[in-house]
Amino acid sequence: MTNPAENRYATIVAGAGPAGVLAAMHASDRGPVLLADSSSLPRSKSCGGMLHELSLETLRPYGEIPESIVSAPRTVHFRYNDWDRRIERTTDLAFLNVSRSGFDDWLVGLLPDTVEIAERAALTGFTQDDAGVTVDLRTPEGIRTVSADLLIGADGARSQVRRTLGIRDSASYVTLQDFVELDGDIEPVFDCIYMRDIGDEFGYAYVVPKGDVAIVGSVFYPRTKRPWEKQDRVIELLRERIPQLGPSRERESAAALYLRSPKDILHGSGRVLLAGEAGGFMSPTSGEGISYALRTGRDAGLAAAGSPATALARYTELTAPVVSDIRRRFRWLPLMESRAGKYLAGFVPTPIVSRVTMGL
């Protein structure tokens, strides 16, 4: 027989990404936390591994980022490219280049002992009332039922917590990333490339040097047909201009939020808080999401460390600066996605492109 006390926590967090780890860390100030992730840890998350200054600033109180997770070249500057109009603008926007799996693993290692980690434990559903939440986790041993005063859903772009709340899922971009072998050095920049050759379903491609490989990624609009074939074509075109790009070692696919309006942002409901991509927190213009996951995860954890009855209100208050930052970015979206916006970019001097990019 299971001991009911063993299955009762102060807070349950679903998802051990950056949002879930910081949420669990701070929530543990009020009592035991269960951090459940559907994957085995360390997990593998499809990502460029570019840490924005906002991520670095948020991480400062938690210690130094270990050198062992930093990739070469250490710093990369964002470069805007429009191949159709032969525009190239290297900006002042700089990122720390890291191994994403190393970064996620380092974060998990910061957790105190009061956080119990359950790997391969997928939240399949939950119920809630005024006293708290009861959560079902699918584990290799069968369904485990656990309860807590609060649940924090930090389970990413396809959040099961969000869906169980009855809130519609946002549409998702389709992203593909290849790890391409390098035959010689490429420029130490984070290239973002717009081109029409791939068709209207294609958003943009990016190239990031990462040690002895380059990550070559493409972002396609929701419901793109045959994205794998389109990614083959993207790589072919890139190889014509960047001959150092060799064969692909590996390809991965993922979903990224396709945010259309501030209505896509949701803090949660009752005893359930949503953090990171699960709550719609990321940059709608650049796709940068780690800094939003870190900040909202931290805020959800701080709110959960106080009274459970007022946690959602407190969380909404704490995340006000992040929400106004996302709202501001939404204003740029129509211009960025339009042909006119891309056309105008051709006439804007580099220092202005640089300044605008800093805010996207």
Ligand X SMILES: Cc1cc2nc3c(=O)[nH]c(=O)nc-3n(C[C@H](O)[C@H](O)[C@H](O)COP(=O)(O)OP(=O)(O)OC[C@H]3O[C@@H](n4cnc5c(N)ncnc54)[C@H](O)[C@@H]3O)c2cc1C
Residues interacting with ligand X, by CB under 6 A? 14-20, 36-39, 43, 45-50, 52, 122-123, 154-156, 160, 175, 177, 217, 254, 256, 276-278, 282, 287-290, 293
3-class SS of residue 220: strand
Distance (Å, rounded) from C-alpha 142 to C-alpha 246? 45
User: Which of 45/144 has CB closer to ligand X?
Assistant: 45
User: Which of 16/214 has CB closer to ligand X?
Assistant: 16
Partners of 175 in the beta sheet? 219, 254
Per-residue CA distances from 176 to 43, 87, 230, 286 (Å): 18, 24, 10, 16
User: Which of 84/325 has CB closer to ligand X?
Assistant: 325
CB of 314 to ligand X, least distance (A): 20
Angle formed by the axes of helices 290-304 and 311-318, to 10°?
140
CB of 217 to ligand X, least distance (A): 5
CB of 13 to ligand X, least distance (A): 9
CB of 164 to ligand X, least distance (A): 9
Distance (Å, rounded) from C-alpha 139 to C-alpha 126? 15
CB of 49 to ligand X, least distance (A): 5
Burial-class residue 51 by CB neighbours within 10 Å (0-12, 13-18, 19+): buried
Which residue is at the shortest CB distance from ligand X?
289
User: Which of 264/277 has CB closer to ligand X?
Assistant: 277
- Contacts of residue 111, defined as CB under 8 A and 6 or more positions apart, other chains included, come to 21, 24, 25, 28, 35, 117
Partners of 147 in the beta sheet? 8, 134
User: Which of 147/177 has CB closer to ligand X?
Assistant: 177
User: Which of 194/258 has CB closer to ligand X?
Assistant: 258
CB of 132 to ligand X, least distance (A): 18
